[in-house]
Amino acid sequence: MHSVLPKILPLLLFDFALLLLSPNLATTWAQTANEKSEAAWRLVSLPFRPVCIAGDENVIWVGGVNEMLAKSEDGGKTWEVKHQKVDGEVLLTIGLLGNGTVYAYGTSGITVWSNDSGETWKSWTAGSERVLDISFADSKLGIRHTVSGVQVTRDGGVQWSGVPIMKRNDLLDYSNVFGVAAIASDRLAILVNKTQGENLFIASKDGGATWTAIHLEDAYASRLFVHSGECWAFGMEILERKKGGGYGAALPLHSTDGLEWTHGAKSPWEFKSCVPHGCVLYDGAIAQLYHTKPEYSSREQDNSERPSCSLILICFLARVHFRKLRKNRALTSPLLETKQWGAVGC
């Protein structure tokens, strides 16, 4: 799945609506949000509680309860519900492929799939577990993380099979799955973690037929996703450990196959959180590290225009929201208030 940063305004996911920020105020959203300026924010009512979101250029998709999916083709100004089911499941993740394919997964193994940008849909149940994370390389090869583990599909999500290497005795302690990624039509990657311990990358170069586990010394990644045909991992690393303890630094890594990894652009600060469109640093800046040099967005003292943070904020807030859902088990959570975002500084 290729992630494309929309040229649109930031959105915030709440329990029963979307909050939209006008583009010309994108650089001062923290200030205007605190002042509750009606000029800065526009409330868009939806007939369901949004839980997940994805964007591609000017098109935004939002999913949530009752298997509802809403689409906006004008940067969030207007919305159209494209799919829904009375008393249906809760959609927890949305993915987009470049050929007009839209897919969503959620509770009880629900799958909702469209090959024509949401005009027609197919839905089916693949297993009974909640899908926590999913990635497709194309309309056939995909990988997902459910409550019980990681599975691979080679038929577009109808049949799923486990990853045998994860049951190997020496890997049983790596029970925390931090991310899954379908990099290309034959390449898959998984990021796993041993509780209070090290990480491993588990990768396949033949569509999941065989797997290899590798460990990068002093590297502690916590996020894994696909961007522009490469697998990216973000976290922290320990530098100069052998010279007397060492110190921590932000870690961006990228790979075309999940086995050979290269450092990305160096970030001056550690990450607060990362999503496919960029990282929120601990000083409040938004950094994109996919190029040779970091590209930053932040709120300047003079409130001058800066690049929009767009989907970075969407995904970051959605992750906070989803963590609450997962922690509470029940798919209900208190309203996420704007003040939680005051330190982001976008």
Tell me the domain boundaries of the chain.
11-216+305-341
Q: Which CATH architecture has domain 11-216+305-341?
A: 7 Propeller (2.130)
What pLDDT is recorded for position 42? 62
How does the average pLDDT of the chain come out, rounded?
76
- Residue 184 pLDDT exceeds 60: yes
- Residue 310 pLDDT exceeds 90: no
Stretch 337-341: mean pLDDT: 28
Stretch 187-206: mean pLDDT: 92
336 — pLDDT class (breaks 50, 70, 90): very low
CA distance linking residue 278 with residue 294, whole number of Å = 10
Stretch 273-293: mean pLDDT: 79
What pLDDT is recorded for position 304? 39
Torsion sign (Cα): 124, 127, 128, 130: negative
According to DSSP, residue 130 is labeled P
What value, to the nearest 5°, has the Cα angle with vertex 252 and ends 100 and 299? Answer: 80
What pLDDT is recorded for position 145? 94
What pLDDT is recorded for position 319? 52
CA distance linking residue 176 with residue 325, whole number of Å = 18
Q: 22-64: per-residue pLDDT in tens?
A: 343 333 333 333 444 444 456 677 778 888 888 876 788 999 9
187 — pLDDT class (breaks 50, 70, 90): very high
**CA atoms within 13 A of residue 39's CA, in its CB half-sphere:** 6
The burial class, CB within 10 Å (0-12 / 13-18 / 19+), for 260 is exposed
* Nearest one of 61, 68, 159, 69 to 109, comparing CA atoms: 159
More confident residue, 308 or 251: 251
- Spatial neighbors of 1 by CB under 8 A, at least 6 apart, are 95, 96, 97, 135, 136, 137, 182, 226
316 in Cβ contact with 280 (< 8 Å): yes
Stretch 194-202: mean pLDDT: 87
- Residue 244 pLDDT exceeds 90: no
